[in-house]
């Protein structure tokens, strides 16, 4: 490929609306252009890199026994109604109407479509297991599309769906995908690691996310360096708060006391009351699927909303408004409590950290008053105990007892064991060997292909631009003759090397622009081609050309060795990203 014949518009300035480095570099290196928030056009270099990620994914899916298909993006809403996700996923569903005012859904994911296919086509245990996959556009009505391709309204996903006859079989399928994901990210040069994950709106009972550590990531991962435990904070557990709950119980009955103007946990810790946060019960009022519920936590703990949804089985939950609090409990936030005047219709969920907590202080459900001497087990009608709190750094891991750490990360992939949730709703059943009909046991597996591409850039860059792993770079070598006047020896040699390297299977872009060397060098660093082969008049006079690995030192090489040296360098780089089984 010749630079002048492709379309590679680099930018000197950092685009003002790109907040994170990978988003800036996507634009500056001419990989993509924004149409509007969350919608991007891939330019040739971006598209080449994207296709490389896709090719790696396809190879590994095929190796793992995946069968490629392609499903429609436009889907009838009735299958979404059948699965229950027309409601539960309504926040992200894009809906469109046709000329007859009939509604359609733009697929954010494809469990409904693939299960409909399996329902029609898979009827016997003899056809199982099967694992279908596709690389396809997804549409999601994200409230806050941002960071370029990281959170877009339209993005490319590789999604796979496995169908098995038994639970054990489904675990085997899951493990195959899990291993394939490990290989895919390694081959993309990404340091991605699996963490235990919440199953969210998709449902199911077992799940891992593949995370790329990055300060700009939107996930918090809790991990233990000693045992290797790692979980999304939405799911993570620990041995509990580091400070024990002070046991100051006198056995006395709850006593109401005036706390005018005190409406926060913190305010109650101050004079004159001086109640430590760990001795307070925090009462949160939530509306979960239109039901009002109370969630109790220790005063210094934070609610984990993903856990709330998981434990209550609610599809959606939001904090109640002050008016809703008042109508449920007769008081406003700041004076709420569960020890007195709680209607029997209101379920009370309590965090495990509060078990046996005695001598606690909580709101009295009377504005301007609190209650002290509250023993949770004695005085509060708890409907369900569970883990609702958010783990904090430094708490001890459940199994190893070692301190947990927390770091930010980008979710690039997600594997779920779904069980029979979708197969039952959409009637994917099969005749087992014993002649009985059973629902198929499913798994689903997604990789954000466009997000993965950007994660590669977020992980590999320096002040000059992108540092690609060779497996994903748009071209492996940038061949840079400094004088491109027709007939100039630098250009003549460049054309010769270009032909020889291309014939040897090396991906070369020939920078044939008539530009200053500084501009050409800067651009090749910015776009980040792994190796630059520079041909300047001065070194050529000495019979030499220059090899410059991106981010490495310049090497002068005799002209006659150039092709062999480039091939060797490229092959070594390629090999470093191959997995054992390649």
The residues that touch ligand ATP, with contacts defined as CB under 6 A, are: 109, 140, 142, 151-152, 155, 157, 411-414, 446, 448, 450-451
Which of Mg ion, ligand ATP, none does 140 bind, CB closer than 5 to 8 A by kind?
ligand ATP
* Position with the least CB separation from Mg ion: 414
Rounded distance between C-alpha atoms, residue 337 and residue 347, angstroms: 13
Q: How far apart are CA 85 and CA 386, in angstroms?
A: 26
When the beta carbons of 137 and 270 are compared against ligand ATP, the nearer one is 137
* Residue 234 touches which member of ligand ATP, Mg ion, none, C-beta under 5-8 Å by kind: none
Residue 390 partner contact from Mg ion, ligand ATP, none using kind-dependent CB cut-offs of 5 to 8 Å:
none
CB nearer to Mg ion: pick between 195 and 477 = 195
Buried b vs exposed e over 407-435: b needs ≥16 C-beta within 10 Å?
bebbbbbbbbbbbbbbbebbebbbeeeee
Q: Which does 464 bind (CB under 5 to 8 A by kind): ligand ATP, Mg ion, none?
A: none
CB-nearer residue toward Mg ion: 138 or 414: 414
Looking at the Cβ atoms of 299 and 413, the one nearer to ligand ATP is 413
CB of 68 to Mg ion, least distance (A): 22
Task: Identify the helix (H) or strand (E) that includes residue 118.
Answer: helix 111-121
Please report whether residue 158 would count as binding Mg ion according to CB under 5 A.
Answer: no
Question: In the bound complex, what is the minimum distance in angstroms from residue 445's beta carbon to ligand ATP?
Answer: 9
Least distance in angstroms from the C-beta of 151 to ligand ATP: 4
Residue 413 contact among Mg ion, ligand ATP, none, beta carbon within 5 to 8 Å by kind:
ligand ATP
Q: Which is nearer to ligand ATP, 33 or 516 (CB)?
A: 33
Taking the mean position of all CA atoms in its chain, how far away is CA 279? Answer: 37
Closest CB to Mg ion among 235 and 298? 235
Q: How far is the CB of 465 from ligand ATP (least distance, A)?
A: 23
Residue 217 tokens, joined: 């990531």
DSSP element (H, E) containing 350: strand 347-351
Distance in Å, CB of 444 to ligand ATP, minimum: 9
Nearer to ligand ATP, 155 or 430 (CB): 155
Q: Output the CA–CA distances (angstroms, integers) from residue 333 to 263, 360, 388, in the order listed.
A: 7, 18, 19
Rounded to whole angstroms, how far apart are CA atoms 372 and 420? 48
Q: What is the dihedral of CA 359, 361, 365, 369, to 10 degrees?
A: 120
**414 lines the binding site for Mg ion (CB under 5 A):** yes
Contact 388, 142 (CB under 8 A): no
> What SS3 class is residue 317?
strand
| Residue 442 to residues 56, 68, 204, 310, 447, Cα–Cα distance (Å) | 24, 17, 9, 20, 17
Nearer to ligand ATP, 144 or 463 (CB): 144
Provide, rounded to whole angstroms, the least separation between the CB of residue 520 and ligand ATP. Answer: 33
415 phi and psi, to 5 degrees?
A: -115, 135
Angle at 341 between CA 340 and CA 343, to 5 degrees: 125
Residue, CB closest to ligand ATP:
448
Single out the segment in contact with Mg ion by CB under 5 A; choices: 355-363, 410-418, 493-501, 539-547.
410-418
- Angular region, 528: left φ>0, alpha ψ -120 to 50, beta rest: left
Of 142 and 424, CB closest to ligand ATP? 142
Distances from the Cα of 78 to the Cα of 73, 83, 104, angstroms: 15, 9, 9
Decide which of ligand ATP, Mg ion, none touches 307; Cβ closer than 5 to 8 Å per partner kind: none
Q: Which does 151 bind (CB under 5 to 8 A by kind): ligand ATP, Mg ion, none?
A: ligand ATP
Chain residues binding Mg ion by CB under 5 A are 414
């Amino acid at each position: 490929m010749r630079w002048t014949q492709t379309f590679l518009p680099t930018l000197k300035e950092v685009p003002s609306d790109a907040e994170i480095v990978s988003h800036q570099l996507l634009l500056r290196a001419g990989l993509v252009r924004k149409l509007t928030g969350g919608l991007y056009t891939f330019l040739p270099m971006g598209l080449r890199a994207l296709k490389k990620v896709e090719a790696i994914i396809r190879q590994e899916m095929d190796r793992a026994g995946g069968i490629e298909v392609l499903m429609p993006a436009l889907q009838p809403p009735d299958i979404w109604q059948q699965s229950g996700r027309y409601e539960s996923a309504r926040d992200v569903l894009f809906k469109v109407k046709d000329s007859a005012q009939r509604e359609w859904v733009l697929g954010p994911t494809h469990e409904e479509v693939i299960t409909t296919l399996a329902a029609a086509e898979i009827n016997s245990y003899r056809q199982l297991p099967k694992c279908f996959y596709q690389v396809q556009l997804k549409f999601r009505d994200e409230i806050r599309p941002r960071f370029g391709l990281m959170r877009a309204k339209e993005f490319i996903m590789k999604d796979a769906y496995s169908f098995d006859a038994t639970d054990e079989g489904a675990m085997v399928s899951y493990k195959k995908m899990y291993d394939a994901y490990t290989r895919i990210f390694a081959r993309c040069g990404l340091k991605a690691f699996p963490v235990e994950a919440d199953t969210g709106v998709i449902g199911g009972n077992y799940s891992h996310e593949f995370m790329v550590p990055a300060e700009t990531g939107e996930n918090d991962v809790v991990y233990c360096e000693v045992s290797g435990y790692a979980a999304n904070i939405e799911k993570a557990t620990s041995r509990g708060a580091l400070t024990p709950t002070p046991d100051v119980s006198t056995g006395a009955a709850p006593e109401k006391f005036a706390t005018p103007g005190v409406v926060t946990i913190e305010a109650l810790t101050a004079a004159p009351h001086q109640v430590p946060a760990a001795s307070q019960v925090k009462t949160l009022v939530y509306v979960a699927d239109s039901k009002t519920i109370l969630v109790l936590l220790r005063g210094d703990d934070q609610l984990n909303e993903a856990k709330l949804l998981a434990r209550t089985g609610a599809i959606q939950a939001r904090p109640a408004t002050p008016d809703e609090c008042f109508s449920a409990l007769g008081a406003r936030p700041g004076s709420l409590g569960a020890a007195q005047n709680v209607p029997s219709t209101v379920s009370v969920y309590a965090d495990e950290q509060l078990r046996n907590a005695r001598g606690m202080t909580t709101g009295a459900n009377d504005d301007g008053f609190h209650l002290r001497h509250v023993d949770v087990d004695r005085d509060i009608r708890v409907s369900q105990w569970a883990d609702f709190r958010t783990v904090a750094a430094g708490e001890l891991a459940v199994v190893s007892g070692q301190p947990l750490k927390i770091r930010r990360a980008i979710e690039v992939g997600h594997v779920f064991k779904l069980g029979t949730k979708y197969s039952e709703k959409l009637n994917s059943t099969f005749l087992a060997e014993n002649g009985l009909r059973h629902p198929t046991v499913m798994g689903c597996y997604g990789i954000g292909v466009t997000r993965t591409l950007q994660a590669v850039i977020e992980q590999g860059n320096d002040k000059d631009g992108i540092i690609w792993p060779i497996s994903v770079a748009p071209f492996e070598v940038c061949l840079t003759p400094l004088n491109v006047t027709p007939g100039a020896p630098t250009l003549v040699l460049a054309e010769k090397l270009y032909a020889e390297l291309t014939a040897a299977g090396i991906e070369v872009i020939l920078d044939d622009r008539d530009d200053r060397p500084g501009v050409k060098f800067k651009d090749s660093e910015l776009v980040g081609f792994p190796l630059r082969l520079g041909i300047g008049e001065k070194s050529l006079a000495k019979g030499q050309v220059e090899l410059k690995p991106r981010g490495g030192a310049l090497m002068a090489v005799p002209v006659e060795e150039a092709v062999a040296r480039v091939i060797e360098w490229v092959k070594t780089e390629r090999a470093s990203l191959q997995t054992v089984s390649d």
